[in-house]
Structure 1
């Protein structure tokens, strides 16, 4: 008896599911499928942030020096490039960038200022750029061999 009830319930559940699926398929309009496909194609067109260099070495500098380097890039993608934010790995590394979108084929720059006060010896700092590229993040690095104040003029 239990097997028969279970079998009937299973059949009713299967039929209900099948009929709902068929009704859902009937509601899909071909023009909406075409619009969705077109939208998906546009979504795959993303900006690409292509840098001429991703690491810059300031060489040997004296502790307390403030040095800058401008990283150049080009949007080699198919959509406008937007830099959402850029952050240095510590407060001694400060990036500046344009908030305007960079159109496909156009170039831009990101200025990085490194303050070597209190940063003796070999230093490597990272700048993390949050963008609307496929990766979502781009990484730049600056390096410097900072001569400690106690060694300057010795």
Structure 2
């Protein structure tokens, strides 16, 4: 008897939850997405090793109320996002600057998660390839040594 009561209670609870998620037309209610990112990916191409690279992602508040970026977090320590913590007015734009330190040689793909309006998220992606730079700025030139001996 107790099991039957538990099953009935769970069934009634699930119906109540479903009823709250459906509007009067019988379609599910969804929260409108109010954060629009013009470009959510950026490819740096080839980057010399040891030279940081940055890019800027532009975001737009397409909603009717101010938008707050709660957090912008990179997938690793080699990527650093910088953003304003001020609310973004409806129709206004803001920028997220993402830097990559280009320390490790080779191809990379990194993500940045944007958390806004408490629990909504968007994903930004940067990619590219870091190439090893020469140890010296230019190869030794034997002609320079010869000129020094003549003068």
Paired position in structure 1 for 2:66: 80
> Counterpart of 2:107?
122
Pairs aligned (count): 109
TM-score normalised over the length of structure 2: 0.65
Aligned to 1:86, the other structure's residue is in SS state: strand
In our comparison, the structure showing a higher alpha carbon Rg is 1
Gaps of 5+ in 2: 1-29, 140-151
TM-score if structure 1 supplies the norm length?
Answer: 0.64
1 CA distance for matches of 2:87 and 2:80? 21
Residue 90 of structure 1 is matched in structure 2 by: 76
RMSD over aligned Cα atoms: 2.3
Give the alignment of 1:61-76 within 5 angstroms. 61-76=47-62
Aligned residue in 2 for 1:16: none
CA distance in 2: counterparts of 1:79 and 1:54, whole angstroms: 23
1:10 corresponding residue in structure 2? none
How do 1:97-112 residues align onto structure 2 when only pairs under 5 Å count? 97-112=83-98
Q: 1:77 to 1:45 in 2, by over 3 A?
A: farther
| C-alpha distance in 1 between matches for 2:69 and 2:93 | 13
Partner residue of 2:20?
Answer: none
